[in-house]
Amino acid sequence: MMLNGKQIKHLTLPLWKAPIKYIAVQKRAEQQLKESRENFRVLAETVPQLVWVKRPDGLYKYTNQRWRDYTGLMLEQVQSGRWPCLQFIHPDDQEGHRAHWQHALDTGDMFEHKARLRNGQTGEYRWFLTRAMPVRDEAGQIVKWFGTNTDIEDQVRIEEALRQSQERANALMNSNIIGITIIEGEQIVDANDTFLRMTGYTREDLRAGNMNWRHMTPSEYLDRTFEAHQELATQQSLTPFEKEYVCQDGSRLPVLVGAVVLPHQPRQAIAFVLDNSARKELEQRKDTFLSMASHELRNPLAALKLQTSLLHRQLARQGTLEQAPALSSMETQINTLIRLVEDLLDVSKIQAGKLGYRQERVDLDALLHEVADTMQQIKATHTIVVRGATSCSLVGDKDRLGQVFTNLLSNAIKYSPQAETVEVEMDTAEDVVSVRVRDHGLGIPREQCEKIFERFYRVTSPRQKGIAGLGMGLYIVAKIVKHHKGTITVDSEVGKGSTFTVAFPKRRAV
């Protein structure tokens, strides 16, 4: 027997033969043993693990209450059989468990294995880490194993969730569909192979710090890109937007880019980059088609208009104009067609950056009256009220500015079929001159108020859709206003009406 590391050999003497002092030593030793057993029991019952002691043949000598509660087994039920513990180990984990035990028994090494153990009450399995240490006698023989089962279900779940999310992220990262970059300031500090392939850069370029998004952005996209980075800084995320990258060989790549700030490294953001060239090419083809179609339509339409007006004059001269009522409706239809084709041409020119502007002095007050008068002659359904006009001049293109107000007035009338008036109001403040066109019509849903200035966008409500239009007018209007350094906004309420406000800075006034 060992006591505090010292061997006590004479304790095997019968008590009656032992001298008094040996009896005292033996008693002390027994007392200490009892205490140490009690300490072990208290410890084994206190720790949050399942605790057990096994004989070298695998049969249980001791299990703590927690073990019995979890497995639902009494000690007697695991004191016979070859591998009594297998009954509460998940079938898929039994083989591994057995192999690990065998190895531990053969080598005397510590046993360690993760397995699912069945809860005797619920029948559910939870992951446990089982650990066991051999205890040896003086001859070095294993006399028992002390073991614990630690519940690692939550840890395993977290690890599994992490593994899955890493797997998903890797699938995306390694796919050759989407470019991914990590940016810090203006520097691209990491990128996946797809992004490098898309832009023609190498991993060495990346390592050497040669990839800087500002240098890779063509000048015409710089403003928009800075705006995007501002959004990223304030909102922590960036709504996907279209731009181009200058590739390593100098070629351009149209892309769609979105990004989010990394939560644990706020100085860095992760961005996705999608190759947008197929869509851009399609758009380009559509634009080319629109431009060609509108050019092709313009000449025959002009000839048609010329011939109908010749016919008009001829019939008027003969005094038989009233007998040909179809002629005037033909002329109206031709004019509508010409306007549509003109709009199409304008849209194409804007797209190509070729919409020309004259620079001339424009009397805004006179222009508004002119537009309102012309419109009043064409559209007798509404009364056009012009208010607050004061003398004010701008430098710009008179026809194009006229086009802005004609369009707004024509929309105001078109989208207020039940109303009787539309109003035009001019207002000059110290540094801006603004013109408001107000109607009392259908109104525009709030969430679509920005979109109506996009190319070919039309409000989706059925009443609006019932009114003919192609969604080009406001796009052209917005571009013309922008060219004149002005702004256009809309204030609208569905069922009540809309007010479009165009404002020009006075510094353009002469």
- Using CB under 6 A as the criterion, which residues of the chain lie in contact with ligand ADP when the complex forms? 411-412, 415, 439, 441-442, 444, 452, 457-459, 464, 469-475, 498
Q: Which amino acid is at 408?
A: L
CB 418 within 8 A of CB 441: yes
Q: How far apart are CA 420 and CA 425, in angstroms?
A: 17
> For residues 327 and 449, which CB has a smaller minimum distance to ligand ADP in the complex?
449
Minimum CB separation from ligand ADP for residue 360, in Å? 25
Report which residue's Cβ sits closest to ligand ADP. Answer: 469
Nearer to ligand ADP by Cβ, of 369 and 455: the residue is 455
* Residue 241 beta carbon to ligand ADP: minimum distance, rounded to whole angstroms: 22
Dig out the tokens for 358 from the structure.
Answer: 């004259």
Beta strands in 16-163 (DSSP E): 50-54, 60-63, 111-118, 125-136, 142-151
Minimum Å gap between C-beta 461 and ligand ADP is 8
Nearer to ligand ADP, 115 or 404 (CB): 404
> How wide is the angle at C-alpha 222 spanned by C-alphas 236 and 180, nearest 5°?
50
- Is 255:177 a contact under the CB 8 Å cutoff? no
Closer CB to ligand ADP, residue 388 or residue 469? Answer: 469
E strand map for 263-335: 265-275
Between 98 and 458, name the residue whose CB sits nearer to ligand ADP: 458
The tokens for 194 are 């797809």
Indicate the residue among 40 and 457 with the shorter CB distance to ligand ADP.
457
Q: Is there a contact between 274 and 255 (Cβ–Cβ < 8 Å)? A: yes
Please provide the DSSP assignment of 103-137 as one string: HHHHH-PPEEEEEEEE-TTT--EEEEEEEEEEEE-
And the tokens for 346?
């304008």
- CA 341-345-350 angle, to 5 degrees, is 150
The rounded distance, in Å, linking the Cα atoms of 342 and 133 is: 90
Q: Which is nearer to ligand ADP, 362 or 422 (CB)?
A: 422
- Least separation in angstroms between residue 223's CB and ligand ADP is 25
Residue 467: CB minimum distance to ligand ADP, A: 7
Choose between 199 and 411: whose C-beta lies nearer to ligand ADP. Answer: 411
Nearer to ligand ADP by C-beta: 104 or 490?
A: 490
Helix (H, G, I), strand (E, B) or coil at 82: coil
**Shortest Cβ distance from residue 492 to ligand ADP (Å)?**
7
The amino acid occupying position 2 is M
Determine the 3-state secondary structure of 454 from DSSP. Answer: coil
The set of residues, in sequence order, having a beta carbon less than 8 Å from that of 499 and lying 6+ positions away, is 436, 437, 438, 439, 490, 491, 492
Phi-psi region of 471 (alpha: psi -120 to 50; beta: other; left: phi over 0): left
Question: In the Cβ-directed half-sphere of 269, how many Cα atoms lie within 13 Å?
Answer: 23
CB of 422 to ligand ADP, least distance (A): 9
For residue 454, the minimal CB distance to ligand ADP (Å) is: 9
Nearest CB to ligand ADP, comparing residues 205 and 491? 491
> How many Å separate Cα 494 from the centre of its chain?
30
Provide, rounded to whole angstroms, the least separation between the CB of residue 451 and ligand ADP.
Answer: 8
Q: Which conformational region is residue 454 in: left (phi greater than 0), alpha (psi within -120 to 50 degrees), or beta? A: beta
Nearer to ligand ADP, 62 or 457 (CB): 457
Using CB atoms within 10 Å of the CB of residue 240, give its burial: 0 to 12 exposed, 13 to 18 middle, 19+ buried: middle
Q: How far is the CB of 423 from ligand ADP (least distance, A)?
A: 12
Residue placing its CB nearer to ligand ADP in the complex, 241 or 457: 457
Between residues 169 and 470, which has the closer beta carbon with respect to ligand ADP? 470
Shortest Cβ 172–ligand ADP spacing (Å): 38
| Spatial contact of 431 and 424, defined as CB atoms under 8 Å apart | no
Give me the least distance between CB of 437 and ligand ADP, in Å please: 8
Query: Exposure pattern of 392-402 as b/e (b: 16+ CB <10 Å)?
Result: bbbebbbebbb
CB of 233 to ligand ADP, least distance (A): 33
